Structure 1
Amino acid sequence: MASLRAEIDAVEHRAVRTVELGGRAVVASVAVFVLIIGHLLPWMGTAAGWEVLLGQGDAAGKAGMVPRLFAATSVLFGIAASALTLITRRWGMAWIAALGGWFASVDGVLAIWTRQSTAGLTSPGPGIGLVISEIAMVVLAVLWFRTAWSRT
């Protein structure tokens, strides 16, 4: 009887640590894919998101600091943490993706704002990839917060 109780407790412990994603898994997967596409499109002038992340081309210098931070946080939390959460379905990873996703979303708004305010008349503002990446990040942040909060 004690071994049966221990087995039931182990199953309960595993169930408490995991989240059931259901249809949210598809939405998260599509949003991660859109975020990846956003990193391939132009963010600053002709520099794509991955070039901004590496500080190459038009992203070199002080003007690219906030977009570079957004590129790093969106890759870390939007792509990596989301992928790990989808794979492991752990409740703790959902919280990491949610909190990091909101940080990246706020940083994305600041990146767009700095591109609009510091670009001036001679250089282009935020590229389409930056805007698409920000929208995907907000979708991911909302999705992971709803998922993580549903377990409390």
Structure 2
Amino acid sequence: MSGREAEGVEGLNGEREVTQAEDKRFRTQLSRAERDISRKIDPGSRALVIVAVMLVLILSSLLPWIGSASGWEVLLGRSDPALQVDLLPWLFSLNSSIAGVLVSALALTTRIWTVSWVAAMTCSLVSVEGLVAIWARQTVPQAGPSIGLVLAVISMVVLASQWLPIAFSRS
């Protein structure tokens, strides 16, 4: 490529004419920018709701989940053995921490559509898991579900309801 092709050619009026190489580079950059924009999300006002619900989810781990055992005690396995905390509440506490806090925070900070889709699907799945954990605790003779577990499940349902429209906005 000669220097004249790389710099463009001046026309008769003094206007700059674009060469084919410059035009091709411009179109390539434009299509790359278009792909990058299509991969991003804009949660808008939903972002504030998501952050507030994430905070409620974190605070719910300080409240009693099963009997007198708080959410963080269930998560770490430090609850009273007499309460007989089974697998389901522990699994919900682990998955709600991962999906509700970590994946949601990652989706909000990166604003990548794929991560928001993962957040929507995991929050939806963990919501169902939380409902089953509440149901399972209501069928045992020991302590049933407390306010923290119920609040955590409600938080996960709200997170799922906020992430699903964002994830499906691209389709």
Using the size of structure 2 for normalisation, the TM-score is 0.83
- Separation in 2, partners of 1:58, 1:30: 31
Q: Given that residues 53 and 71 in structure 1 are in contact (C-alpha distance below 8 angstroms), is that contact kept between their aligned partners in structure 2?
A: yes
Q: Which residue of 1 aligns with 2:30?
A: 8
Q: Does 1:64 align with 2:86?
A: yes
Aligned-partner SS, 1:40: coil
Large movers: runs of 4+ above 2 Å: 58-64
- Separation in 1, partners of 2:65, 2:81: 9
Structure 2 residues not aligned, in runs of 5+: 1-22
Structure 1 residues not aligned, in runs of 5+: none
Q: Which residue of 2 aligns with 1:129?
A: 148
Q: Which residue of 2 aligns with 1:139?
A: 158
CA-based RMSD:
1.5
Cα gap change, 1:56/1:81 in structure 2, threshold over 3 Å: closer, same or farther? Answer: same
Q: Where do residues 1-152 of structure 1 align in structure 2 (5 Å cutoff)?
A: 1-58=23-80, 63-118=85-140, 120=141, 123-152=142-171
Equivalent AA in structure 1 for residue 51 of structure 2: S
Equivalent AA in structure 1 for residue 157 of structure 2: V
Deviations 1:66-111 (A, max 9, x none): 0001001101111100000000011101111111111100110011
**In the TM superposition, what is the alpha-carbon distance from 1:60 to its structure 2 partner?**
7.9
**In the TM superposition, what is the alpha-carbon distance from 1:65 to its structure 2 partner?**
1.0
Name whichever structure is richer in helix by fraction.
Answer: 1
Q: Given that residues 98 and 145 in structure 1 are in contact (C-alpha distance below 8 angstroms), is that contact kept between their aligned partners in structure 2?
A: yes
Relative contact order, higher structure (CA 8 A, sep 6+): 1
Q: Which has the larger radius of gyration?
A: 2
- Separation in 1, partners of 2:40, 2:84: 42
- Separation in 2, partners of 1:57, 1:63: 7
- Separation in 1, partners of 2:155, 2:82: 25
- Separation in 1, partners of 2:128, 2:80: 23
Q: Given that residues 44 and 59 in structure 1 are in contact (C-alpha distance below 8 angstroms), is that contact kept between their aligned partners in structure 2?
A: no
Using the size of structure 1 for normalisation, the TM-score is 0.92
Cα gap change, 1:59/1:111 in structure 2, threshold over 3 Å: closer, same or farther? Answer: farther
- Separation in 2, partners of 1:46, 1:129: 10
- Separation in 2, partners of 1:136, 1:57: 22
